[in-house]
A and B are shown apart, each in its own frame.
Chain A
Amino acid sequence: MSSHCSPFGVERGFIMRQSVQEMIAQSKGKKNKQFVEKMIPVILFLIASVSVLTTIGIMLTLIFETITFFTRVSITDFLFGTTWLPFSNKEAQYGILPLIVGTLKVTLIAILVAVPIGISAAIYLSDYASENVRRVLKPLLEVLAGIPTIVYGFFALTFVTPLLQSAFPDIKIFNAISPGIVVGIMIIPMIASLSEDAMSSVPKSIREGALAMGSTKFEVAWKITVPAALSGIVASVVLAISRAIGETMIVSLAAGSTPKFDGDFTGSIQTMTAYIVQVSKGDAGYGTTIYYSIYAVGFTLFIFTMIMNIVANYVSKRFREEY
């Protein structure tokens, strides 16, 4: 028998030279190793706190620069002013309401597009589709979520807007409808995927009970699955709204740069995010009021999305149906 076939021979020889107890004692004696074992948790804790530092950094950045902004522009003018004219030669005006209205217009259209389609797709995937169909459709839907927003922006500007214009000649090249639709398409997978997760976690026994009582699949979906998964569905919609509010590139490319405080969807508007992009693109010198205004707008945006995220969290925890 060659030594190749007998690995134990090698180990036996090794152990004979050094007992296990000795090895353990030797190993424990290594200062170096104990030091590593003690330091690793500390290092990892420091790494884990980077995410907390990021949040603190965001908060402090936004708060301090916004305070500087409010030393120059009155806070009531900012919150309740209905004119946003930062680039005016005569007297600059910083009333954020037009930017908020612009953001809400795009968000409204996005929600009108995404909620029916997203929830329908979720119901189809969870209650109707066979396992095979689901395995194909769900990843395909998620491809939509992986497309960069700049690509969606290009799509809105070069396809959706011309298409809308050919149907409704009143619509301008920059408008709220086209980016709204495209933001809607972008958030469909988010609503579909999260809602489907919530619906799939509704126990099969409840559904089958309803089916056994003679319900049709639609009745099961509408009267059993959707009510049971409602907290998850609402949370997914709220998260999607948050995404739509923070969406930047689609509105920068396709919505225009005209802050307006009105109810017109067919003409150029400006959202909060698009304003930040507009200022960042041009060279607003460091220290000017315009420079600080992007932080005040960013802070407003941050608060909007934060509230949405907290609401989503609350809804999904508080109203969850436990089975």
Chain B
Amino acid sequence: MRYIEHDTVVRRMNGRMVVNTIFKSLFLLATLAALMALVILMYQIVTQGISHLSFSFLTNFASRFPDQAGIKAALIGSIWLMAVVAPTSIILGVGSALYLEEYAKQNRITTFIRMNISNLAGVPSIVFGLLGLTIFVRALALGNSILAAGFTMSLLILPVIIVASQEAIRSVPGELRDASYGMGATKWQTITKIILPAAIPGILTGSILALSRAIGETAPLIVIGVPVIIQFLPAGVMDTFTALPMQIYDWSSRPQPEFQQVAAAGIIVLMVVLLLMNSVAVIIRNKFEKRY
């Protein structure tokens, strides 16, 4: 007696296999559609911007004539901004992560801080702009300086750096810690000499990715009142400045079509900066991956 009738199985399976194939193609198609969007976006920007990209574009200040418009002030301004954001956000982020992973007791305050960090990560960037405008620009009277913008951006990316640092610290093997305590090291000695050196690749990777978010962020800068047309370079952190995304925003919103090309050229510069930062992050990650 045959329990399995081959013909019936084939008849029943055929339809189901067709459905399977159709949906597999649909799912693949959807994935490729998302990637196509990425390709089209890149292609559009490069083809529009490449003609305007030249050495003088990097060394000229902004101008109302499209062919003379350059990105010098914005590029230098973004570097200044990062010079404030990087130390501020990394010190705050790593410090918070160390507290949460190494010192915090399991109590309500700790739970509250953790919950707060995850909620903070969901606050729109423009709301951070409102915070910066009220606290840093007005209450602390920093004006629309590099410092005010830098502090605002630092708070914006703080949750990302905290979470990345927490993961990096958590992934340091317990044996290393135990060995350090076993040798008579104090907690702080263990942290500075064992845990931080071991966690630093992860912390750096996460921080660089967070910083690359900060360098492309526009909305908080607009709310703070960062100007666009700037014909000088900042000399200190209290000076006013402009940044790459601000400059791109200004060029994009101008009606003359020539400025669209200038904006695209600006975007290429921004993307190259981002690419460099991300490559550094990838290199760090690959170099130190699975050391333990």
By a beta-carbon cutoff of 8 Å, the part of chain A in contact with chain B is 24, 33, 36-37, 40-41, 43-45, 47-52, 54-55, 57-58, 61-62, 65, 116-118, 120-121, 123-125, 128, 137, 140-141, 143-144, 146-155, 157-159, 185, 188-189, 192, 214, 216-219, 221-222, 239, 242, 245-249, 252-253, 273, 276-277, 280-281, 286, 294-295, 298, 301-302, 305-306, 308-309, 313
- Interface bracket on B: 35 or more
The answer to whether B34 and A298 have CB atoms under 8 Å apart is: no
Q: Is the CB of A41 within 8 A of B103?
A: yes
Question: Residues 108-139 of chain B: 1 if any A CB is under 8 Å from the residue's CB, otherwise 0?
Answer: 00001100111110111111111101110010
Residues from 44 to 71 in B contacting A, C-beta threshold 8 Å: 44-45, 48
Docked pose: A242 CA to B104 CA in angstroms: 30
* Residues of A contacting B263 in the complex (Cβ-Cβ under 8 angstroms): 154
- Judging by beta carbons under 8 Å apart, are B253 and A295 in contact? no
What are 15 pairs between A and B in contact, CB < 8 Å?
A44-B96, A50-B155, A120-B26, A120-B31, A141-B35, A146-B212, A150-B245, A150-B248, A151-B271, A216-B16, A217-B20, A222-B23, A253-B252, A273-B126, A280-B129
Interface of B, secondary structure class, is helix
Docked-complex contact A218 and B222, CB < 8 angstroms? no
Q: A37-B186, A280-B225 are in contact. Are A249 and B249 (CB under 8 A)?
A: yes
Given A116-B30, A150-B245, A188-B34: A40 touches B126 (CB 8 Å cut-off):
no
CA distance A252 to B249 in the complex (A): 9
Task: Assess the A146–B20 pair: CB atoms within 8 A.
Answer: no
What's the least CB distance linking A112 to chain B, in Å? 13
Q: A51-B96, A158-B260 are in contact. Are A302 and B127 (CB under 8 A)?
A: yes
Pick the interface stretch among B173-181, B213-221, B232-240: B213-221
Complexed CA–CA distance, A40 and B263 (Å)? 48
> Interface majority SS on A: helix, strand, loop or mixed?
helix
A221 contact set on B, CB distance < 8 A? 23
Closest to A144 in B: B38
Given A124-B31, A147-B41, A276 contacting B216 (CB threshold 8 A): no
